[in-house]
A and B are shown apart, each in its own frame.
Chain A
Amino acid sequence: DQQVKQNSPSLSVQEGRISILNCDYTNSMFDYFLWYKKYPAEGPTFLISISSIKDKNEDGRFTVFLNKSAKHLSLHIVPSQPGDSAVYFCAAREDYGGATNKLIFGTGTLLAVQP
Chain B
Amino acid sequence: DTGVSQNPRHKITKRGQNVTFRCDPISEHNRLYWYRQTLGQGPEFLTYFQNEAQLEKSRLLSDRFSAERPKGSFSTLEIQRTEQGDSAMYLCASSLAGEQYFGPGTRLTVT
State whether the Cβ of B99 lies closer than 8 Å to any Cβ in chain A.
yes
**8 A Cβ contacts from B9-32 to A:** 31
CA distance A49 to B97 in the complex (A): 13
Interface size bucket, A side? 20 to 34
A105 and B44 contact, CB distance less than 8 A: yes
Q: How many A-B residue pairs have CB under 8 A?
A: 59
Knowing A43-B102, A46-B99, A49-B99 touch, does A104 contact B41 (C-beta < 8 A)? no
Given the contacts A43-B104, A49-B98, A49-B99, A91 and B42 also touching, CB distance less than 8 Å: yes
Q: A105 to B40: give the CA distance in the assembly, Å.
A: 12
Judging by beta carbons under 8 Å apart, are A32 and B100 in contact?
no
Given A99-B56, A101-B31, A101-B95, A107-B102 contact (CB < 8 Å): no
Q: How far is the CB of B99 from chain A (nearest CB, A)?
A: 5
Do B56 and A34 have beta carbons less than 8 Å apart? Answer: no
How far is A44 from B98 in the complex, measured between Cα atoms in Å? 15
Which residues of B lie under 8 Å from residue A89 when comparing CB positions? 42-43
Q: A residues near B, CB below 8 A?
A: 4, 32, 34, 36, 41-46, 49, 89, 91, 99-108
